[in-house]
Chains A and B, each alone.
Chain A
Amino acid sequence: DGGITQSPKYLFRKEGQNVTLSCEQNLNHDAMYWYRQDPGQGLRLIYYSQIVNDFQKGDIAEGYSVSREKKESFPLTVTSAQKNPTAFYLCASSILIWTSGRHNEQFFGPGTRLTVL
């Protein structure tokens, strides 16, 4: 089955600890995204990548890092510099339309719920 997988489903972090969230897709999508969702709020973009070995900061990149070594994978590391990391983390992917941004339909994985102990 084609889709986006995220692991783990739940993650607990201690203060001062770095943790890495996994995101894998087998949809052959070029672009991948990481969002954060806090209760009662919309999604906020952390990082995105349109091509292997390249990625750009989103609106709230501080305290996070990513890599894109393979087209299928876009892991997110939540570092100890992120002061309030408790949130629902969502990975998405889409085909890449360069011309006008039309048809940029993003599809989401099931998410990882991160809690700081």
Chain B
Amino acid sequence: QKEVEQNSGPLSVPEGAIASLNCTYSDRGSQSFFWYRQYSGKSPELIMSIYSNGDKEDGRFTAQLNKASQYVSLLIRDSQPSDSATYLCAVNWGYGNKLVFGAGTILRVKS
């Protein structure tokens, strides 16, 4: 059974703080990991992808991957109210092109 688990939240952080979003997955064969941002009523938007253990930084976003622990996280620095959204973690299933999505974490950034 392929599973991707996320805390549903909501995660509330003050403006300017670091938001930390976490995701665990069950398939040890997974090779590709993605974070999508989804605003209410809109479609998901890809914000980060990561394939190797360690950190990957892109602007205010940092993705962290630990394959041994089957854990991937997303850090958002200097959080802004516009970051308030649902963040979906997605993991590719084995060596195929299919993705399995978590249910998402709701992030609320309070000004």
A: residues with CB less than 8 A from B are 31, 33, 35, 40-45, 48, 50, 58, 90, 94, 96-97, 99-111
Q: Decide: A42 near B102, CB < 8 A? Known: A101-B92, A101-B96, A105-B34.
A: yes
B: residues with CB less than 8 A from A are 4, 8, 31-32, 34, 42-46, 49, 51, 88, 90, 92, 94-99, 101-104
A106 to B44, CA, bound (A): 10
Q: Please determine whether B104 and A104 come into contact, CB atoms closer than 8 angstroms.
A: no
Residues of B within 8 A of A94 (CB): 97
Q: Please determine whether A103 and B46 come into contact, CB atoms closer than 8 angstroms.
A: no
Closest to B2 in A: A59
Q: Decide: A43 near B44, CB < 8 A? Known: A101-B32, A101-B92.
A: yes
Q: Which 9 A-B pairs have the closest CB atoms?
A: A42-B101, A108-B43, A43-B101, A42-B103, A111-B43, A101-B92, A101-B95, A104-B97, A101-B31
Pairs A–B under 8 Å by Cβ, sample size 16: A35-B101, A42-B102, A43-B101, A97-B97, A101-B32, A101-B94, A101-B95, A101-B96, A102-B32, A104-B92, A105-B34, A106-B34, A108-B44, A109-B43, A110-B43, A111-B42
Residues of B within 8 A of A99 (CB): 95
14 more contacts with CB within 8 A, not counting A42-B104, A103-B51, A106-B46, are A40-B103, A42-B4, A42-B88, A43-B88, A43-B99, A44-B101, A101-B32, A101-B94, A102-B31, A105-B49, A106-B34, A106-B90, A107-B46, A110-B43
A102 to B34, CA, bound (A): 11
